[in-house]
Amino acid sequence: MNQFQYVRPSKPKAAIDARAKDQNSQFIAGGTNLLDLMKRGVMNPERLIDISRLPLDKLERENNTFRIGSMALNATVADDKQVLEKLPLLAQALNAGASAQLRNMATIGGNMLQRTRCPYFYDTALPCNKREPGSGCGALEGYNRMHAIFGFSDKCIAVHPSDMSVALVALDATVLVSGPKGDRRIPFGELHRLPGDMPQKDTTLEPGELITAVEVPEGPFTKNVHYLKVRERASYAFALVSVAAALQLENNIIKDARLAMGGVAHKPWRLTEAEKSLVGKPATEATFQAAAAIAMQGAKAFKHNAYKLKLGPNAIVQALKNATNVA
Amino acid sequence: MADSTPDSKPENPECGHNATRRQFLKQSSVLTALAFTPGPVVQAAAAEWDEKIAAPFEKVGLKLAVNGKNYKLSVEPRVTLLDLLREQLHLTGTKKGCDYGQCGACTVHVDGKRVNSCLALAVMQDGREITTIEGLAKGDDLHPMQEAFIKHDGFQCGYCTPGQIMSAVACIREGKADSEGEIREFMSGNICRCGAYPNIVAAIQEVKTGGQKV
């Protein structure tokens, strides 16, 4: 690992100042992804700004909204009784990610900012526009079985790796940010961006902006929810495809629906049209199949990930069945 | 590398082995800076982030309690908790497997929580309590989980075992060991390439159902 300077400001404002002043600096909180990337030489910050002890770890609930501090640990939120009761989809998604050890280290803010696990991004000997803009995309014509089927560009076909983010986009969360120009709120669906011509930019955050919290409305999705993660072993692996499904049922008729996918795009992929198709229909496999077909419209595979075109809709149907106990 | 001085004052940073002129100059500037600042870089930065003071520092002071023993240490910021434990404190029970947070061999407890020590910077653990595999037994009396691993043959080559045991103890303390399925899920961060998983699960289940205090 390259040498770096280490500072630990005691106030968010000092941390933001330090970050804004120095382009070669990075915030560090849990460090579970950043240190991994630094050891491999993928990221080489000259200064780390330790934000892990900033007073941003509270979990509050008021006006039917959860406000989760960005420094709250993944495990703390996943085990919180109120989260389990009111936001079970979020708890399931958190527990689907990483391992018990990593969930004890990783923060909520860090989880949403983790980088792609595309092997070309990780291997500094290979081309990657995200790591080194202009060097090319190794995955485009390379080994691309983990890669995107939606929203990619010819510059980058990597996918966003977070499970938690898939649940948060489905639940209409809002990201609270403080920066050199003040505070702002970002709808979760607008935090991550598609690669386009600038795959080096994962999010819409401005330089120096610090995520302070995420707000999640309670909503009616307390019972019929399921986070389905398909991976190559039973636990502790990144998703090939994942689905966050949440339904509000009345006499088996769907009153409201939320659906999002992970492992398919450069950002957590909300399926708004498929959601609309579910509303007003009975919770049956036929309804779910129709929604899955809508969800997959526009999907396009590469040489090694065509299986996702079949796994995707199957996972959507299975997640909806699990959420509703339809056999 | 840095110096470890259990239960004593930090050593003079000039006294390292293989000191070069460059190191000496840098360390001198550290001492000069120390002369007009109250404490290490952490405190300087905490009070009011000031680049001029923080810039020359290469080593940072930190206090840790490891297995009940207090240490005052001085480390480069890039030293991981794992390397600090193994290379400076010579607590080599904690293993370096992958060094990327993928195998769990480096699992230790920080303030009671299990973590991957390979992905934790030592400097970020300032003031915390660390428990390693060496801190689990009470003298010659093995921890119940250690006994159970022996009884159930919960290992073959043994390299992952310290991490498995630290994780297993935490798994029970967290209340995530109520069924075989739950144990397998919440132990998934510890890889055993010998494949001793059925025996590891059996050991955890015995300790859990035995009701001993872990």
Tell if the CB–CB gap between B116 and A50 is shorter than 8 Å: no
Say if residue B77 is in the same domain as residue B114: yes
Neighboring chain A residues of B114 at a CB cutoff of 8 Å: 100-101, 104
Tell if the CB–CB gap between A105 and B55 is shorter than 8 Å: no
Q: Tell me if A74 is assigned to some domain.
A: no
Between residues B9 and A136, which one has the greater pLDDT?
A: A136
Q: Among B104, B135, B166, where does a domain finish?
A: B135
Say if residue B13 is in the same domain as residue B101: yes
The stretch B19-36 carries a mean pLDDT of 43
pLDDT at B58: 73
* Number of residues in chain B: 214
Q: Among B81, B108, B135, where does a domain finish?
A: B135
- Annotate A80-116 with DSSP letters as a single string: -HHHHHH-HHHHHHHHHSS-HHHHTT-BHHHHHTPPP
Say if residue B180 is in the same domain as residue B130: no
Q: Which one of B48, B100, B171 has the shortest CB-CB distance to A100? A: B171
Indicate which of B1, B49, B180 best probes the interface with A, i.e. most A CBs within 10 Å of its own CB. Answer: B49
The stretch A219-227 carries a mean pLDDT of 97
pLDDT at B37: 39
pLDDT of B67 above 90: yes
Contact with chain B for residue A42, Cβ under 8 A: no
Per-residue pLDDT tens over the stretch B89-132: 999 999 999 999 999 999 999 999 999 999 999 999 999 999 99
Say if residue B123 is in the same domain as residue B66: yes
What are the strands, taking DSSP E only, across A114-252? 174-179, 182-187, 210-217, 224-230, 241-250
Q: Tell me if A210 is assigned to some domain.
A: no
pLDDT at A282: 98
- CATH number, domain containing residue B121: 3.10.20.30
Q: Tell me if B70 is assigned to some domain.
A: yes
pLDDT at B3: 47
pLDDT at B57: 54
Say if residue B22 is in the same domain as residue B115: yes
Helix, strand, or coil (residue B35) = helix
**What's the whole-model pTM score?**
0.91
Say if residue B18 is in the same domain as residue B97: yes
Say if residue B117 is in the same domain as residue B19: yes
- CATH number, domain containing residue B201: 1.10.150.120
Say if residue B18 is in the same domain as residue B118: yes
Q: Tell me if A156 is assigned to some domain.
A: no
**Cα A77 from chain centroid?**
15
> Residues of B near A (CB-CB distance < 8 A)?
41-42, 45-49, 51, 54-55, 57-58, 60, 76-78, 80, 99-101, 104, 107, 113-116, 119-121, 123-124, 167, 170-171, 174, 176, 184-190
Nearest C-alpha neighbor of B129 from the set B64, B77, B73, B81: B64
Q: Tell me if A103 is assigned to some domain.
A: no
Q: Tell me if B52 is assigned to some domain.
A: no
Nearest C-alpha neighbor of A71 from the set A212, A165, A178: A212
Quote ipTM for the complex.
0.97
Say if residue B28 is in the same domain as residue B129: yes
Q: Tell me if A100 is assigned to some domain.
A: no
* Number of residues in chain A: 327
Counted domains in chain A:
2
- How many pairs of residues across A and B have Cβ atoms under 8 Å apart? 104
Q: Tell me if B51 is assigned to some domain.
A: no
Type and span of the H or E element at B129: strand B129-131
Chain A nearest CA to B126, separation (Å): 11
Counted domains in chain B:
2
Q: Tell me if B50 is assigned to some domain.
A: no
Say if residue B29 is in the same domain as residue B113: yes
**Cα B101 from chain centroid?**
13
Contact with chain B for residue A307, Cβ under 8 A: no
Neighboring chain A residues of B127 at a CB cutoff of 8 Å: none
Domain that holds residue B199: 144-210
Q: Tell me if A91 is assigned to some domain.
A: no
Name the closest residue on chain B to residue A106, using Cα atoms.
Answer: B115
Say if residue B107 is in the same domain as residue B166: no
Per-residue pLDDT tens over the stretch A135-155: 999 999 999 999 999 999 999
Q: Tell me if B163 is assigned to some domain.
A: yes
- CATH number, domain containing residue A32: 3.30.43.10
Angle at A130 between CA A126 and CA A133, to 5 degrees: 85
Between residues B85 and B15, which one has the greater pLDDT?
A: B85
DSSP state for residue A323 in the 8-state scheme: H
- Residue B1 burial (CB count, 10 A): 14
Name the closest residue on chain B to residue A99, using Cα atoms.
Answer: B189
- CATH number, domain containing residue A301: 3.30.390.50
Q: Tell me if A122 is assigned to some domain.
A: no
Tell if the CB–CB gap between B113 and A235 is shorter than 8 Å: no
Q: Tell me if B167 is assigned to some domain.
A: yes
Task: Give alpha helix (H) positions in A135-265.
Answer: 164-170
pLDDT at B21: 41
- Residue B137 burial (CB count, 10 A): 12
Domain that holds residue A43: 5-53
pLDDT at B10: 39
Q: Tell me if B49 is assigned to some domain.
A: no
Say if residue B91 is in the same domain as residue B122: yes
Contact with chain B for residue A125, Cβ under 8 A: no
Neighboring chain B residues of A1 at a CB cutoff of 8 Å: 78
